Amino acid sequence: MGKEATCTAHFGNRKSTGKALLETSELLFRPNDGNPRVKILFSAIKSAKAVDGQLRLQTADGPVSFDLGAAAEKWCHKILHPKTRAEKLGVKAGVNISLLGKFDQEFHQELLATTKNVHYGEIVPATEIIFLMVASTMELAAGISKAAKAVKGATALWIAYPKANKEITENDVLTAGRKSGLKDVKVVGFSVTHTALKFVLPLDRR
């Protein structure tokens, strides 16, 4: 999850008080006055700087600033130096990874840029991170029955699933993981269309 702060936002000559949320690839602002929320993608930010406790952004739609106080410097740094998807998912050099399900070629290449120990369609004994891609509750049931058995010690299981999809919901994934004896510890925006939940063994079972 991202950082959040109650603050005043300035959009040109207009200002509004509300809640700002700094996510992994975007900044959201939810006004208290009932106006629609504002989403600012990092990719749409032309420049960012912190000045006297104010985060100042130049976007494709014009200047925007947020009164964040001491947090302005940290938010600015995260916007200018966002973590890669692999970093967010805990992928480090040399780690052993097993992939189950249909992941796109872009994700394959991201993993291979960090580690060459990537295995497709199977879970090898030395696996430290398992990635399971599912598109329905049927795929979830079949995939987690196999993946959960392979979670040993500190092994992590990431389950990626589509957002806003009637075939499978976050609650479906959480319920399946917990019924398999695993504990959910983290959620990450896997892509524009998918979310990923991380599961591990509870400490008393390691």
| CB-CB contact of 186 with 198 (8 Å) | yes
Contacts (Cβ under 8 Å, ≥6 apart) of 56: 48, 49, 50, 63, 64, 65
- Domain range annotation of the chain: 3-80, 85-205
| CB-CB contact of 132 with 143 (8 Å) | yes
- Per this entry, what is the length of the chain? 206
pTM score, whole prediction? 0.72
CATH code for the part of the protein at 85-205: 3.40.50.150
pLDDT tens string, the chain, 206 residues long: the values are: 458 999 999 998 889 999 999 987 889 999 998 888 999 999 899 999 999 999 999 998 899 999 999 999 999 999 998 888 899 899 999 999 999 999 999 999 999 999 999 999 999 999 999 999 999 999 999 999 999 999 999 999 999 999 988 899 999 999 999 999 999 999 988 988 999 999 999 998 88
CATH code for the part of the protein at 3-80: 2.30.29.30
